[in-house]
Structure 1
């Protein structure tokens, strides 16, 4: 994994802060800073233009906070929060960010967070396969990514709908989101994960996925629709 390069964006409205993080990133040798954003509005625009692996995301920014951005952006990259306020630590934990850096940030602490990100992406890279095993009762079933139409959250279980069957397994939707490739699967609603290849029609706030209908959250509709359509729209 010595050739692993992690594409990242630094978002902070304080020039001294983002310049410091940029300098730290350059020292690691594996963090590739592809953009600097001064607020979440800029970040929103940049993420629609180029995919990245990791965000160094300040929490207190103008227009919209880093926390609110992360809650409302569909299928965001992994995140390391940076903030001067310790009170946000619990929210970072709830949003499953990779790490939480408290300003002023020392290089030693930054490197610890960067290495945590490296280990995460290295494990994802080695584990990347075009299929997943799903445990139902005492049986493990091999299912290709392309066969999965959608995944539905059912409290402590998820229902996996494929092209020809429905399987229920003990898991959280979050664990499934982390396992399946973000370039192929999108989360249009807190209770659903959808294979974009399986979407046959879009009607209002409803996605038609094979024989199923999946709602789209009104807060995420624009971003979700943009990712699904991706410049493939013909209209009169």
Structure 2
């Protein structure tokens, strides 16, 4: 298993040091090292990742502000020189909180914690979800889900041959689905990227149905779907 990660730290030497640590750990793959939340935001729009090593005190926006504002962020390990943010960090469900200067021993402990977390959530090992509906739990494979639609306090899952409604929020559903396989083109929908057969205007053709693309998210959605796979004349 490989955990793809991004290191964000406004101190270049600190970022370089963390990358050096990560490069020694076989299951960590550093996709990028950046210096602030703005640069991190751009990177995440281009390529979904599993884990962020995220500094807190940075220019423009703190790591905590970024984590609160970014929709469905990757898991986070905070790296900071300030201990007073620890409680806020764990309230945001971060995996770990590293206080600088970070030793390799402490970094390795945090990395192993991330490995344990992701190893129990790998789509290859658990490629399904149980959906509570009426008085039973229905097992549905991730690959069979075409899309999910939010309707008030309920979410309906669509597959090729059935619809399953459950009492849930779209956000809670999104947290249970593999982020590399599902995207949110609209505030009311989650779509299986592998099930998209065509893109026409502001609509995605998914199975025999159409799913809208929000005009505010169209550029990001197309970037995720096409991913350098666009063949032009």
Please state which band the TM-score falls in when normalised by the shorter chain: 0.7 to 0.9
Residue deviations 1:58-79 (CA, integer Å, cap 9, x gap): 2343455545655666665322
TM superposition shift of 1:17: 2.1
TM superposition shift of 1:226: 0.5
Which of 101, 111, 120 is the equivalent residue of 1:114?
111
Q: Which runs of 5+ in 2 are unaligned?
A: none
**Cα distance change on mapping 1:82 and 1:154 into 2, 3 Å:** farther
Structure 1 runs (4+) greater than 6 angstroms displaced: none
- 2:201 is aligned to 203
Worse-superposed segment, 100-109 or 15-24: 100-109
Do residues 58 (structure 1) and 55 (structure 2) align? yes
CA contact (8 A) 1:89 1:100 kept: no
Which of 129, 132, 137 is the equivalent residue of 2:134?
137
Do residues 152 (structure 1) and 153 (structure 2) align? no
Distance 2:227 2:16 in 1: 33
Which of 177, 183, 188 is the equivalent residue of 1:186?
183
Do residues 98 (structure 1) and 133 (structure 2) align? no
What SS does structure 2 have at the residue aligned with 1:13?
A: coil
CA contact (8 A) 1:74 1:186 kept: no
- 1:123 is aligned to 120
CA contact (8 A) 2:48 2:180 kept: no
Distance 1:222 1:180 in 2: 22
Distance 1:202 1:97 in 2: 39
TM superposition shift of 1:119: 0.9
Do residues 7 (structure 1) and 4 (structure 2) align? yes
What SS does structure 2 have at the residue aligned with 1:125?
A: coil
Q: How many residues align?
A: 230
CA contact (8 A) 1:188 1:221 kept: yes
Q: Which runs of 5+ in 1 are unaligned?
A: none
Which of 199, 212, 215 is the equivalent residue of 1:214?
212
TM-score, reference length from structure 1: 0.73
Distance 1:226 1:72 in 2: 21
